[in-house]
């Protein structure tokens, strides 16, 4: 399966498990050789088919669990009969989207690392070593190219006759991972698919050229990307810094996920190459630009040590202005002939060195240790700091993770601490400066009650986190739950941002999800209606009410996700929806499952990926009278649609990408989307060349213009209905 940590993979829309995929075959240890060989052949054939259905046709025919059991069976048989492993074995299919890992690439020229210099003196010594090694006269100038050291992931890109044929990670320097498919998603973002300047037969460009470069994310794009990840729900991976995000994105097994990430590349070096016709690194950088690569515009050619240090010092102080993370300057001897002569020493070239920037550290005083309360009641301590500038960014808070971490570092209020921004967005407390500790500084004790609602805060055995037990009675949890409830993957109430929720909660306008659907009605009776409040107007208030109205119909899986049940992310919500199909049947089953000796409990725990801990959380949620009150009230205000099931594969919309725009007259946008999805379509917000149909309702605007410009099929609401009308909907609409 693609990266399990990531929820923006396409969910597999499958109802419960049947035995058809695995077949009624004997256990692996009962197989004789012949049977094993036949079984491996059968499995290879089946997996090819299911991979194709899943990845190319977006129409999977088996569940994740069934798919995994096929793979596990294949692996188990291969482990028993290693010599029977087939050339087309699913476990060998490397680089393909569902491979368990990547293939390996042996670098024709090793990818080395760099020696570091941390001071001007060390840089001067580097130049002295170079001069001595080459036996240069004192007056002979040594030109050096100074380039920013990008904090990303290094890759090697191989072009043959001008065409990109293979891309790899650095790996251990000798052997890297084959990430060709993922790197193809960077075409036009710093790397060309074909070297510019050559003809169709590769004349005019090197026959072989391996370009080395760094894949990175800009800080702004990283923050935006993390924000979107957050919206995807609790299971989506949040990255600590742009470098981790770039690395995680490049190492996705499904290149479509990589393609959605904001990655870019700077080229700066070369591996295998022939013919080779540049005499200096500076000239080579120019060639790279000519071939169509992005080359860092901050690179400078220096003639003296003073010039080199000036480049370093200037970028060190202006580091925060550079839109991506850099952690130093790389100096490279410019003349290729000298580079060749200097060669390598162990794992690093003699002709280059990295002059690192000082770590982004600062000292400041802890003014308070504050505890915030999350949606599930988790208490997270944060240090409030005397504001201080770290690497160009003013910092007034630092994360302390959890109470064990505070105890380990013994951080106390009043302490002077060293904080560091190691590329991470939120700084860390690295250490306490003990000599500066005030005499009366007391060790920090974690609160026994919730700082917001005073309910007992307990730490269950085996949990590193202490939690408030107040549930929705706790305003902090209530606000976080509301934010989750309206988030994109849940009720998707655009126009109701986090700040609004906080304001509405504080003003008593919305204190539970139920109030959301009574907002308009309540608002009418208020002295100061929403439209008259600061930051709002008649139009924006109307728009919000309209959105809320259209969201009154919601699919069961979104509804379950919106409830914010512990351990129930988007995927688990879908699994539960597929299993129980309607809200009343799910609710009845959960109430019955409170009896752990009964059938309902058994049925629940055997759901794929469930297990007793998650099952316990779901049952606890549905047996809490406070939850049931909210559910009952919601039942009168929203329509929870039964699980829509799997798309019929023969639907004309199966596998198609559809964009809805404008106002539809026969149904809400929400319903239209659900219907399209039920017919196997993928509904997206923006128009691109990948869009198959644009359904234009009344007053459709720019999306239709764009679709026209792209020559896409534009359907009226009636035409779209006609397309779907011939089909029956799984739940008889
Ligand atoms: S040259 C043979 N130039 O730094 C030396 N490396 O610490 C090849 N890096 O693995 C490296 N920006 O990932 C070079 N302008 C730059 C660089 C750069 C970032 C990374 C690269 C390398 C690491 C070495």
CB atoms within 10 A of CB 693: 22
Ligand 1 neighbourhood includes 214 CB (under 6 angstroms): yes
Cα 596 to chain centroid distance, Å, stands at: 37
| Nearest CA-CA partner of 615 in 631, 628, 598, 596 | 596
* CA of 115 relative to ligand 1 center, distance in Å: 10
The yes-or-no verdict on residue 293 having pLDDT over 70 is yes
Q: Give the span between the Cα atoms of 702 and 692, in whole angstroms.
A: 17
* CA of 155 relative to ligand 1 center, distance in Å: 10
Contact 675, 682 (CB under 8 A): no
Query: b/e string for 388-398 if b means 16 or more Cβ within 10 A?
Result: bebbeeebeeb
Q: Give the span between the Cα atoms of 189 and 129, in whole angstroms.
A: 38
Which atom of ligand 1 lies at the shortest distance from residue 151's CA?
Answer: 19
* CA of 157 relative to ligand 1 center, distance in Å: 14
Mean pLDDT of 646-665: 74
Q: Give the span between the Cα atoms of 294 and 152, in whole angstroms.
A: 15
Peptide bond into 275 cis (omega under 30): yes
| Nearest CA-CA partner of 155 in 184, 174, 176, 172 | 176
Q: Give the span between the Cα atoms of 227 and 317, in whole angstroms.
A: 28
CATH number assigned to the domain comprising residue 285: 3.30.470.30
Q: Give the span between the Cα atoms of 497 and 123, in whole angstroms.
A: 51
Ligand 1 neighbourhood includes 147 CB (under 6 angstroms): yes
Q: Give the span between the Cα atoms of 509 and 691, in whole angstroms.
A: 40
* CA of 241 relative to ligand 1 center, distance in Å: 19
Q: Is 392 within the bounds of a domain?
A: no
Contact 113, 268 (CB under 8 A): no
Q: Give the span between the Cα atoms of 2 and 5, in whole angstroms.
A: 9
* CA of 261 relative to ligand 1 center, distance in Å: 22
Mean pLDDT of 32-42: 89
Q: What is the pLDDT of residue 652?
A: 72
Which residue CA neighbors atom 10 of ligand 1 most closely?
113
Confidence of residue 80 (pLDDT cuts 50, 70, 90): confident
Choice among 10, 149, 483, 614 that is catalytic: 149
Mean pLDDT of 85-110: 68
Give per-residue pLDDT as tens, 248-269. 999 898 899 999 999 999 999 9
Q: Is 101 within the bounds of a domain?
A: no
Q: Is 41 within the bounds of a domain?
A: no
* CA of 117 relative to ligand 1 center, distance in Å: 14
Q: Which of 173, 353, 354, 423 to mutate to test the pocket of ligand 1 (most atoms within 8 A of CB)?
A: 354
* CA of 388 relative to ligand 1 center, distance in Å: 31
The yes-or-no verdict on residue 640 having pLDDT over 70 is yes
Which residue CA neighbors atom 18 of ligand 1 most closely?
149
Q: What is the pLDDT of residue 22?
A: 38
The yes-or-no verdict on residue 235 having pLDDT over 80 is no
Q: What is the pLDDT of residue 4?
A: 33
Q: What is the pLDDT of residue 292?
A: 97
Contact 500, 510 (CB under 8 A): no
Q: Which positions ≥6 away from 523 have C-beta within 8 Å?
A: 509, 529, 530, 541, 545
**Are 543 and 561 in the same domain?**
no
Q: What is the pLDDT of residue 713?
A: 82
| Nearest CA-CA partner of 515 in 468, 481, 470, 538 | 481
Active site residue 690: no
Cα 578 to chain centroid distance, Å, stands at: 25
Which residue CA neighbors atom 13 of ligand 1 most closely?
154
Number of domains, the chain: 4
Which atom of ligand 1 lies at the shortest distance from residue 111's CA?
Answer: 2
Q: Give the span between the Cα atoms of 279 and 382, in whole angstroms.
A: 54
Q: Is 158 within the bounds of a domain?
A: yes
Q: What is the pLDDT of residue 731?
A: 28
- Type and span of the H or E element at 247: helix 242-250
Confidence of residue 423 (pLDDT cuts 50, 70, 90): low
Which residue CA neighbors atom 2 of ligand 1 most closely?
112
**Are 561 and 689 in the same domain?**
no
Mean pLDDT of 439-450: 94
Which of 356, 389, 418 marks a domain boundary? 356
Ligand 1 neighbourhood includes 154 CB (under 6 angstroms): yes
Q: From residue 297, how far is each of 71, 256, 268, 450 by CA, in Å?
A: 48, 30, 11, 52
Q: Which of 214, 336, 352 to mutate to test the pocket of ligand 1 (most atoms within 8 A of CB)?
A: 214
Q: What is the pLDDT of residue 66?
A: 63
Which atom of ligand 1 lies at the shortest distance from residue 269's CA?
Answer: 1
* CA of 149 relative to ligand 1 center, distance in Å: 6
Which of 599, 616, 641 marks a domain boundary? 641
Cα angle: 470, vertex 500, 570; to 5 degrees: 60
**Are 545 and 568 in the same domain?**
no
What residue numbers bound the domain in which 522 lies? 486-516+518-551
Q: Which residue has the higher pLDDT, 307 or 489?
A: 307
**Are 637 and 675 in the same domain?**
no
Ligand 1 neighbourhood includes 150 CB (under 6 angstroms): yes
Ligand 1 neighbourhood includes 112 CB (under 6 angstroms): yes
Give per-residue pLDDT as tens, 162-221. 999 999 999 888 999 999 999 999 999 999 999 998 877 778 899 999 999 999 999 999
Q: Is 440 within the bounds of a domain?
A: no
**Are 126 and 150 in the same domain?**
yes
Looking at the chain, the number of H-run helices and the number of E-run strands are: 25, 26
Which atom of ligand 1 lies at the shortest distance from residue 354's CA?
Answer: 7
Q: What is the pLDDT of residue 98?
A: 33
Ligand 1 neighbourhood includes 349 CB (under 6 angstroms): yes
Which residue CA neighbors atom 16 of ligand 1 most closely?
149
**Are 290 and 196 in the same domain?**
yes
The yes-or-no verdict on residue 19 having pLDDT over 50 is no
Q: Estimate the crossing angle of helix 305-317 against helix 120-134, to 10 degrees.
A: 150
* CA of 329 relative to ligand 1 center, distance in Å: 10
* CA of 686 relative to ligand 1 center, distance in Å: 37
Which of 327, 356, 385 marks a domain boundary? 356
Mean pLDDT of 387-410: 84
Ligand 1 neighbourhood includes 330 CB (under 6 angstroms): yes
What is the four-CA torsion angle of 286, 322, 262, 212, rounded to 10 degrees? Answer: 40
Mean pLDDT of 377-404: 86
Q: From residue 650, how far is each of 403, 646, 647, 671, 727 by CA, in Å?
A: 56, 12, 9, 21, 9
Q: Give the span between the Cα atoms of 552 and 167, in whole angstroms.
A: 48
Ligand 1 neighbourhood includes 500 CB (under 6 angstroms): no
Is 149 exposed, middle or buried (CB count within 10 Å of its CB: 0-12, 13-18, 19+)? Answer: buried
Q: Give the span between the Cα atoms of 155 and 168, in whole angstroms.
A: 6
Q: Give the span between the Cα atoms of 322 and 343, in whole angstroms.
A: 32
Ligand 1 neighbourhood includes 113 CB (under 6 angstroms): yes
Q: Is 393 within the bounds of a domain?
A: no
Query: b/e string for 697-706 if b means 16 or more Cβ within 10 A?
Result: beebeebbeb
The yes-or-no verdict on residue 723 having pLDDT over 50 is yes
Ligand 1 neighbourhood includes 269 CB (under 6 angstroms): yes
Contact 185, 259 (CB under 8 A): yes
Confidence of residue 68 (pLDDT cuts 50, 70, 90): low
Mean pLDDT of 473-499: 89
* CA of 188 relative to ligand 1 center, distance in Å: 22
Which atom of ligand 1 lies at the shortest distance from residue 352's CA?
Answer: 5
70-79, 534-543, 575-584 — most confident range: 575-584
Cα angle: 448, vertex 453, 459; to 5 degrees: 35
Q: What is the pLDDT of residue 343?
A: 92
Q: Give the span between the Cα atoms of 182 and 252, in whole angstroms.
A: 8
Cα 205 to chain centroid distance, Å, stands at: 37
Q: From residue 568, how far is each of 483, 561, 573, 654 by CA, in Å?
A: 16, 6, 6, 28
Which atom of ligand 1 lies at the shortest distance from residue 149's CA?
Answer: 12
Q: Is 28 within the bounds of a domain?
A: no
Q: Is 391 within the bounds of a domain?
A: no
Confidence of residue 553 (pLDDT cuts 50, 70, 90): very high
According to DSSP, the residues that pair with 658 across neighbouring strands are 683, 693
* CA of 213 relative to ligand 1 center, distance in Å: 8
**Are 667 and 635 in the same domain?**
no
Mean pLDDT of 529-557: 87
Q: Give the span between the Cα atoms of 315 and 332, in whole angstroms.
A: 17
**Are 176 and 309 in the same domain?**
yes
Share of the chain above pLDDT 70, in %: 88
Which residue CA neighbors atom 9 of ligand 1 most closely?
149
| Nearest CA-CA partner of 327 in 261, 406, 424, 201 | 424
CB atoms within 10 A of CB 213: 27
Which atom of ligand 1 lies at the shortest distance from residue 170's CA?
Answer: 10
CATH number assigned to the domain comprising residue 605: 1.10.150.20
Is 460 exposed, middle or buried (CB count within 10 Å of its CB: 0-12, 13-18, 19+)? Answer: exposed
Q: Give the span between the Cα atoms of 541 and 544, in whole angstroms.
A: 5
Q: Give the span between the Cα atoms of 162 and 200, in whole angstroms.
A: 9
Give per-residue pLDDT as tens, 336-369. 999 999 998 878 999 999 999 987 788 999 999 9
Q: Which residue has the higher pLDDT, 729 or 706?
A: 706
Confidence of residue 92 (pLDDT cuts 50, 70, 90): low
Which atom of ligand 1 lies at the shortest distance from residue 299's CA?
Answer: 15
**Are 493 and 601 in the same domain?**
no
Q: What is the pLDDT of residue 674?
A: 67
**Are 265 and 139 in the same domain?**
yes
Give per-residue pLDDT as tens, 128-138. 999 999 999 98
Which atom of ligand 1 lies at the shortest distance from residue 148's CA?
Answer: 15
Q: Which of 154, 324, 344 to mutate to test the pocket of ligand 1 (most atoms within 8 A of CB)?
A: 154
Q: What is the pLDDT of residue 67?
A: 66
Confidence of residue 120 (pLDDT cuts 50, 70, 90): very high
Ligand 1 neighbourhood includes 149 CB (under 6 angstroms): yes
Mean pLDDT of 288-300: 97
Which residue CA neighbors atom 17 of ligand 1 most closely?
149
Ligand 1 neighbourhood includes 181 CB (under 6 angstroms): no
* CA of 343 relative to ligand 1 center, distance in Å: 16
Confidence of residue 724 (pLDDT cuts 50, 70, 90): low
According to DSSP, the residues that pair with 364 across neighbouring strands are 417
Q: What is the pLDDT of residue 725?
A: 43
Confidence of residue 44 (pLDDT cuts 50, 70, 90): confident
The yes-or-no verdict on residue 529 having pLDDT over 60 is yes
Contact 141, 131 (CB under 8 A): no
Q: Give the span between the Cα atoms of 9 and 177, in whole angstroms.
A: 21
Find the farthest-apart pair of alpha carbons in the chain and give their distance in angstroms, rounded. Answer: 90
Instruction: Please give the mean pLDDT across all residues of the chain.
Output: 84
Q: Give the span between the Cα atoms of 314 and 310, in whole angstroms.
A: 6
Give per-residue pLDDT as tens, 325-335. 999 999 999 99
> In 151-191, at which residue ranges do the beta strands (DSSP E only) sit?
153-160, 163-169, 175-177
Q: What is the pLDDT of residue 603?
A: 86
The yes-or-no verdict on residue 728 having pLDDT over 60 is no
Ligand 1 neighbourhood includes 268 CB (under 6 angstroms): yes
The yes-or-no verdict on residue 621 having pLDDT over 60 is yes
**Are 574 and 706 in the same domain?**
no
Ligand 1 neighbourhood includes 114 CB (under 6 angstroms): yes
**Are 151 and 300 in the same domain?**
yes
CATH number assigned to the domain comprising residue 536: 1.10.150
Cα 590 to chain centroid distance, Å, stands at: 32
CB atoms within 10 A of CB 101: 12
Q: What is the pLDDT of residue 140?
A: 93
Which residue CA neighbors atom 15 of ligand 1 most closely?
149
């Amino acid at each position: 399966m693609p990266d399990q940590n990531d929820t923006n993979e396409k969910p597999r829309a499958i109802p419960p498990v049947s035995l058809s995929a695995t077949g009624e075959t004997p256990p692996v240890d009962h197989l004789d050789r012949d049977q094993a060989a036949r079984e491996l052949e059968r499995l290879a054939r089946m997996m090819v088919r299911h991979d194709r259905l899943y990845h190319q046709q977006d129409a999977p025919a088996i569940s994740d669990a069934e798919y995994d059991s096929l793979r596990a069976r294949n692996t188990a048989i291969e482990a028993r009969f290693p010599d029977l492993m087939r050339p087309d074995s699913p476990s060998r299919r490397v680089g393909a989207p569902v491979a368990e890992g990547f293939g390996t690439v042996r670098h024709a020229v090793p990818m080395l690392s760099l020696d570091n210099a941390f001071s001007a003196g060390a840089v001067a010594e580097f130049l002295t070593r170079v001069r001595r090694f080459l036996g240069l006269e004192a007056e002979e100038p040594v030109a050096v190219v100074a380039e920013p050291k990008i904090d990303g992931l290094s890759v090697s890109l191989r072009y043959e006759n001008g065409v990109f044929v293979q891309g790899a990670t650095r790996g251990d320097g000798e052997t890297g991972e084959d990430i060709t498919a993922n790197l193809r998603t960077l075409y036009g973002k710093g790397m060309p698919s074909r070297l510019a300047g050559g003809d169709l037969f590769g004349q005019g460009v090197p026959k072989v050229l391996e370009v080395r470069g760094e894949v990175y994310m800009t800080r702004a794009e990283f923050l935006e990307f993390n924000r979107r990840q957050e919206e995807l729900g609790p299971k989506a991976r949040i990255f600590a810094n742009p470098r981790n995000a770039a690395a995680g994105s490049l190492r996705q097994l499904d290149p479509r996920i990589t393609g959605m990430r904001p990655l870019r590349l700077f080229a700066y070096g070369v591996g295998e190459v022939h013919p080779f016709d540049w005499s200096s690194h500076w000239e080579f950088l120019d060639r790279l630009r000519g071939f169509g690569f992005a080359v860092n515009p901050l690179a400078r050619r220096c003639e003296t040590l003073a010039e080199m240090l000036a480049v370093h010092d200037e970028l060190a102080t202006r580091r925060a202005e550079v839109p991506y993370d850099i952690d130093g300057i790389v100096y490279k001897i410019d003349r290729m002939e000298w580079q060749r002569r200097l060669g390598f020493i162990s794992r690093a070239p003699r002709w280059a060195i990295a002059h690192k920037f000082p770590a982004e550290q600062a000292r400041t005083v802890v003014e308070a240790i504050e505890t915030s309360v999350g949606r599930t009641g988790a208490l997270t301590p944060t240090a409030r700091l005397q504001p201080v500038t770290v690497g160009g960014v003013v910092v007034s808070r630092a994360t302390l993770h959890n109470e064990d971490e505070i105890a380990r570092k013994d951080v106390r209020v009043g302490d002077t601490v060293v904080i560091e921004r190691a590329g991470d967005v939120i700084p860390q407390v690295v250490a306490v400066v003990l000599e500066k500790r005030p005499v009366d500084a007391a060790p920090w004790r974690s609160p026994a009650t919730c700082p917001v609602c005073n309910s007992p805060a307990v730490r269950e055995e085996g949990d590193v986190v202490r939690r408030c037990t107040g549930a929705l009675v706790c305003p902090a949890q209530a606000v976080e739950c509301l934010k989750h409830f309206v988030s994109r993957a849940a009720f998707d109430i655009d126009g109701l941002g986090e700040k609004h929720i906080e304001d509405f909660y504080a003003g008593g306008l919305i204190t539970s999800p139920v109030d959301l659907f009574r907002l308009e009605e309540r608002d009418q009776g208020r002295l100061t209606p929403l439209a008259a409040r600061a930051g709002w107007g008649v139009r924006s208030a109307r728009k919000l009410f309209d959105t809320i109205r259209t969201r009154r119909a919601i699919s069961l899986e979104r509804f379950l996700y919106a409830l914010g049940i512990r351990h129930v992310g988007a995927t688990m919500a879908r699994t539960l929806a597929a299993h129980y199909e309607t809200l009343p049947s799910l609710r009845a089953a959960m109430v019955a499952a409170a009896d752990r000796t009964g059938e309902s409990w058994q049925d629940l725990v055997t759901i794929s990926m469930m297990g007793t801990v998650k099952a316990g959380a779901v049952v606890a949620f549905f047996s809490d009278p406070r939850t049931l009150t909210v559910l009952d009230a919601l039942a009168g205000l929203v329509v929870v649609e039964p699980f829509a099931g799997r798309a019929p594969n023969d639907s004309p919309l199966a596998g198609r990408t559809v964009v809805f725009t404008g106002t539809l007259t026969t149904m809400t946008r929400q319903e239209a989307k659900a219907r399209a999805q039920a017919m196997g379509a993928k509904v997206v917000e923006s128009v691109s060349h990948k869009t198959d149909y644009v359904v234009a309702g009344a007053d459709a605007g720019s999306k239709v213009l764009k679709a026209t410009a792209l020559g896409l099929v534009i359907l009226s609401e009636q035409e779209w209905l006609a397309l779907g009308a011939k089909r029956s909907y799984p739940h008889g609409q």
